[in-house]
A and B are shown apart, each in its own frame.
Chain A
């Protein structure tokens, strides 16, 4: 019976977090002993209350660890769909996570775990982000990923989803879930979640079947910042989850970057506050790269698929007719169709038809409904 199994067993017990587990293992000598600790040991070594310790013991008695372990391994060792489990003890456990005070005992993953060996940056922000915020997240995700950086985020709506989507276009991304890998939350991101394992990885500290409970998300936020060398906050309200992630990042000795915004804007109050508190203000991907001692020269060959489309796009521009050029030129930020029509003085028919053509050519993108932004 391997220590991995007992470590996994510990992760399934109630009231036993990574700190308690670490303490138990240190005092009692091995993972197995920690797992089989009696009530007295749990209280003395683990620091649990007597009531909690009794609950741990009764939960352990109901848990047929060996059988469950077998089932889990059968599911994972088949290796069919890149699913797996890593523990503290494994060599491929992300080294950055070892540095934080309370690294998760185990992580369930689905996809390419190796993307965590690359430099990592987290992008977090509001769920109800403005088109501008979505645009920033997407752009930062796309550009940073093209330098071989893995974009870490939480697969929430808004900024998170945009960062993942942007990163998937040019590179790799890791999504940390607050639920089991089989319970993608929110469901609106189902499609995105299915795309991630092919080019990145989905990670959860929770076993399959865990629902997205409110209490799971602090642990997820800790892993997001823990896995990353820095955290970029794009848009966040005051007292928001993103700011909690940012403060966790500070505790974990990570860099915090913030995209500034209008002081009167609710969505900008979070990043602006962070900048006031000393976070690094960034204008674009370069600022982050510089901070990470990566320069533009280091640019990795971007994925083949992207490389193929790029030249055709470039030649496509010259062929675009005048009104498309005018549309492209007026897009200095995210703009609604109506605003574009006013700005370019083109009829609505030309604007709508032109923007769709540009979107299909990959030159602009629709951020939120009816709001477009230029790519690159």
Chain B
């Protein structure tokens, strides 16, 4: 009286296959789950018991032990319900014993036996294929995710009885439609044609998009910093299918199976509030959960009012931005979350926001301004390639007509393509033209640029040159890059 079903759990953004072993033994009736289950998983006993009863199956009057193997891996979530229920039925002889061997079974049970969607189906299904599992039973809500995975024939099931029917062959299997790659995500973000004036900042945004540069916008309140930043995903090139799946995988884990997964090609855009905690930004918790920097993977992380963020919160961003990955170490295990995102920050020039503004007087004291700037400065600024000082809009700018995001995106895509063709990103000073080198030297002396600043300028000049479809970095490209040098 023994059966094994296959389920899976998620660690980081990777799925791990878990064997659900069910043993029915003589003795006083009891129901025990072992193998490091978390609370949600331990509670599955009640759900399984009720679901079996309400679907018309008799709950075995045996000593019932469920073991989740490997035993040293922490298992989380409610996705094991269906596997446990089917395992019990198989152990009781209702389902052929070997039938469950090569089927990944995922789903949460409601008390009446209906199957609810769960989080992380995409990485779990991917892990199943790696382990040689070829079949999967998944909730209807997760059908599109599971259908995406090549080499896995997924079946969606609505309730426990249907699942049993499919496994015993009495019912025909409903094959889910795999999720489609949608480009509609672009319509959700702001369009550049809505942004009035701010010509320099628009240009900086275009350069940032073309070169994946991190950007800092400084300007008085209401000048359009946030709006501009929200336009950035709209001018980024669409994700490749592979990238879209990477992103979908993260959201599959993070969303906890709430509704159908959207497989959008528009890069993600995250703008956490400045009261966010460290764990909220880079991920964390006792059982780690991805943070904002991971949710912005392959997209944009926007920190509005960056001066208001806690200093320690900004500091923890350094390593993820540098390495493109967050690794969180917990007792006994560690998880890695991808975090390759583009950082955009917006800040006021001083606490009141009007320092240097042409429309309003600043009311801050020098000490306040210095303290505010100190909070902005520091190691995070090292990651910033471009900085723009914006001024308030002039009334006559309100009626100007501006380019749309689609047009700008075309240029960005062209520049990226040109950049990919000319190989590596570490274009050294050798590719600077003679006058470009001269202007860079003069500027380095005049503006007292550090070696790092010079390096950044070259990096940005390269992007500017690519945007201009030029094969060499000229003086005008370096000069433009210098405008956006970091200065606080």
Residues of A within 8 A of B (CB): 127-128, 130-131, 157, 186, 188, 266, 336-339, 341-342, 347-357, 359-360, 368-371
Contact = CB atoms under 8 A, between A and B. Distances in A.
A356 B389 contact: no
Contacts of A351: 199-200
Contacts of B479: 352-354, 356-357, 360
B394 A339 contact: yes
Contact of B480 (A353, A359, A360): A353
10 contacts: A131-B356, A342-B197, A348-B199, A348-B202, A352-B483, A353-B483, A356-B443, A357-B479, A360-B439, A369-B349
Contacts of A355: 483
Contact of A370 (B391, B396, B397): B391
B358 interface: yes
A188 B468 CA distance: 38
Closest 8 CB pairs of A and B: A369-B389, A353-B480, A370-B389, A352-B483, A348-B203, A353-B479, A356-B479, A348-B199
B442 interface: yes
A186 B202 CA distance: 35
Nearest to B488: A369
A348 B200 contact: yes
B303 interface: no
B390 interface: yes
Contact of A338 (B200, B464, B480): B200
A95 B77 CA distance: 87
The winner among B199, B446, B482 for most chain A CB atoms within 10 A is B199
A360 B442 contact: yes
Interface in B386-437: 388-391, 394, 396-397, 400
B487 A352 contact: no
Interface in B467-488: 468, 475-477, 479-480, 482-484, 487
Nearest to A354: B479
A341 B476 contact: no
B438 to A, nearest CB: 9
Interface of B: 197-203, 218, 349, 355-356, 358, 361-362, 366, 370, 388-391, 394, 396-397, 400, 439, 442-443, 446, 464, 468, 475-477, 479-480, 482-484, 487
Contacts of B197: 338, 342
B379 to A, nearest CB: 20
A357 B218 contact: no
B391 A356 contact: no
B480 A352 contact: yes
Contacts of B394: 339
B197 to A, nearest CB: 6
A370 B199 CA distance: 12
A338 B198 contact: yes
Contacts of B388: 370
B218 to A, nearest CB: 7
A336 B391 contact: yes
A341 B391 CA distance: 13
B184 to A, nearest CB: 30
A264 to B, nearest CB: 11
Given A130-B358, A369-B349, 17 more contacts: A128-B361, A336-B391, A338-B198, A341-B200, A342-B197, A342-B397, A342-B400, A348-B199, A348-B202, A352-B479, A352-B484, A356-B480, A360-B439, A360-B443, A370-B200, A371-B356, A371-B391
Given A352-B480, A357-B476, A338 B362 contact: no
Contacts of A349: 203, 464, 468, 480
Contacts of B475: 357
Contacts of B484: 352
Contacts of B483: 337, 352-353, 355-356
